[in-house]
Structure 1
Amino acid sequence: MGKIVITTNVTLDGVVQDPDGQEGFKSGGWFNQFGGKDLAEWAELETEEALGAEALLLGRRSDEWFATRWAERTGVWADKLNSMPKYVVSSTLDKPRWGGTVLKGDVVNEISKLKQTVDGEIIVYASYQLVRTLIEHDLADELRLVVFPVVLGTGEVLFDQISDKKPMHLVDVRALGEGLVFYAYEFVR
C-alpha cells in the first residue's frame, strides 16, 4: 500500500508562496535568500528522500513548474525524479509536461485507488491546493517540512484551508546546517 508523503519548504510563519521569486510575489525569493550555505545539506536530504520514493504526485501547476526546472537536469537526484512514475491531478490536462499519468475525476477516489496500487512512498512536492485536499480528506500519511529562518508576514500559507484539527506525531527533527530545520510528522488517525 502506498504512503502519501507531503514534503515542502516553508517559512517560519508557514508561507509556501514563491520560494524562488519567479512568480512576482513581493516577498518571493526567500528560498535562496535565507537558505544560503545550508542548501547543500537540504539537497542531500531531498536526494535521500527521492531515492526512497516510488512515485510523485503533483497538481497541474506543479507539474509545469517542475518540468521547466528538472526535465533537463542530470545527476543522482534529477535522474531519480525524471525517471520515477508521476501522477498529476488535473481536470483540464491531457498530457503532463513532466510525463506520467493524469488523474481525472473525483480526486479523493483517484488518490485512494493510487494508494492501493503503488507500494511505497508517494511524494507530493508543492501542489498546495492538492495538499490541502489530501489533508482535509485524511489521505496524507506523513508531512515533512523544511523550515526557513524568516517570517514574511504575508503570502499563501500551507494550512489556511483546513476545516478541522489534524493531530500529528513527531517522527523526526534535525538541523540542516545553521539555519534550516527539518520536521517529519505522521498524521494520527
Structure 2
Amino acid sequence: MRKLIESTFVSLDGVIDDTRPSTAPRAEPHRWGQPYWDEDHAAYAGKLMSSAGAMLLGRVTYEGFAQSWSERTGPDADRMNSLPKYVASRTLTEATWNATILRGDVAEEVAKLKEQPGPDILKWGTGELDRTLVEHGLVDEFHFWYFPVIVGAGKHLFEGAGFDTTHLKLADVERFGSGIVVHVYVPK
C-alpha cells in the first residue's frame, strides 16, 4: 500500500498562503519562503520528489505548479513534469500537465490510489482538499516546513477545517542552516 505524504510550507504564525481574493500578497509562500530556499531546502524537496511515484494536488496548487513548472527544464523540472498527477477539483474541466482529474467522491478515489502498488504519493500544499483527507484518515505523513518568518496576515494552516481533533506523533525533525525546521508527523 502506498503512503500519502503531505508537504506544506508554514510561517511561524501559521500562515500557509495569501487569502483569495488576495488581501495580503505578502502571504504568498513564494514571497516569504524564497529567501530561505537554499541547498538544504532543495535537497529535502528532492528527497521527497525522488520517493514519489505520483502527486496529488488540489486545483489551486495544480494550476500554480503547472504554470510555474511546465516550461522549466533540468533534472528537478523533468522529474516534476514527468510524475503522474491526480487533481481533486469540482470545477476543473481539463488537465493538461500530465494529470488526471479525480471525479466523484475524492476520499474514495484517493483510497483507491493508495491501494495501488508503487511508490508513495506526494501532496504539496494544504488547502480545502486536506479537510477531506484528514477527516477520512488518508494522510500517512505530514511534513510541515516551518520557516523563520512571521507574515502577519493570510490563510492559516487548517483554517476552518471543520474536522475533529486529530492527534499526531512526531516522527522526525530536519533542521536547515537557513532556519527552516521540518517536522514530520504521523497519525497517532
Give the TM-score normalised by the residue count of structure 2: 0.88
- Superposition RMSD on alpha carbons, in Å? 2.1
| Equivalence for 2:127 | 128
| Equivalence for 1:46 | 45
> 5+ unaligned residues in a row in structure 2: which ranges?
none
Matched, 1:104 2:69: no
2:128 partner SS? helix
Distance 1:37 1:86, change over 3 A: closer
What per-residue deviation string (whole Å, max 9, x for no partner) do you get for residues 120-169 of structure 1? Answer: 21111125111222112211111001111122333211222142221111
Aligned residues: 185
Distance 1:152 1:135, change over 3 A: same
Give the TM-score normalised by the residue count of structure 1: 0.88
| Equivalence for 1:157 | 156
- Asked if 1 retains the 8 angstrom alpha-carbon contact of 2:6 and 2:124, the reply is yes
| Equivalence for 1:87 | 86
1:132 partner SS? helix
Aligned AA for 2:172?
D
2:93 partner SS? coil
Aligned AA for 2:124?
Y
Matched, 1:168 2:168: yes
| Equivalence for 2:16 | 16
Rounded Cα–Cα distance in structure 2 between residues aligned with 1:85 and 1:26: 30
| Equivalence for 1:59 | 58
1:43 partner SS? helix
Aligned AA for 2:164?
D
| Equivalence for 2:145 | 146
Rounded Cα–Cα distance in structure 1 between residues aligned with 2:90 and 2:23: 26
> 5+ unaligned residues in a row in structure 1: which ranges?
none
